[in-house]
């Protein structure tokens, strides 16, 4: 079993055994619960936190810039799409109005002719 454990695990077990002999089972358990598994080198220091905070703020600033750029691009696309729709709608309504006036003129002419010769 000892040959499958890492050096840190073996050292931790030896420390736990020594603490149990010196302090008793309950006190040793409390002590071992308060010691980090990977050793003290795995704990974050205040300097580590300052660096992480700076990196986090940089990442957030980069993300904010990317989002602003993408939103501006989307806004431009939407404005372009609206302008194209407006132009297409104008053409369709203009064609419809022209046809409507033509049909109404033809109907009026037929009614006038029917009343005059009818």
The phi and psi torsions of 24 (rounded to 5 degrees) equal: 100, 165
The pLDDT tens digits for 18-63 are 889 998 999 888 888 878 777 677 778 899 999 999 999 999 999 9
Look up the pTM and report it: 0.51
Q: Tell me the domain boundaries of the chain.
A: 1-43
High-pLDDT (> 90) share of the chain, %:
57
Which residues are within 8 A (CB) of 27 and not within 5 positions of it... i.e. 6 or more apart? 19
Query: In whole numbers, what is the pLDDT of the chain averaged over residues?
Result: 89
């Amino acid at each position: 079993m000892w040959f499958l454990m890492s050096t840190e695990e073996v050292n931790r077990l030896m420390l736990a055994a020594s603490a149990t002999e010196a302090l008793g089972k309950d006190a040793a358990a409390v002590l071992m619960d308060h010691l980090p598994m990977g050793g003290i080198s795995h704990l974050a220091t205040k300097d580590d936190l300052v660096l992480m905070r700076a990196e986090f703020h940089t990442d957030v600033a980069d993300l904010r810039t990317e989002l602003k750029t993408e939103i501006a691009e989307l806004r431009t696309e939407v404005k372009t799409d609206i302008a194209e729709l407006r132009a297409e709608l104008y053409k369709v309504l203009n064609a419809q109005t022209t046809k409507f006036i033509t049909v109404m003129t033809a109907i009026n002419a037929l009614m006038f002719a029917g009343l005059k010769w009818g």
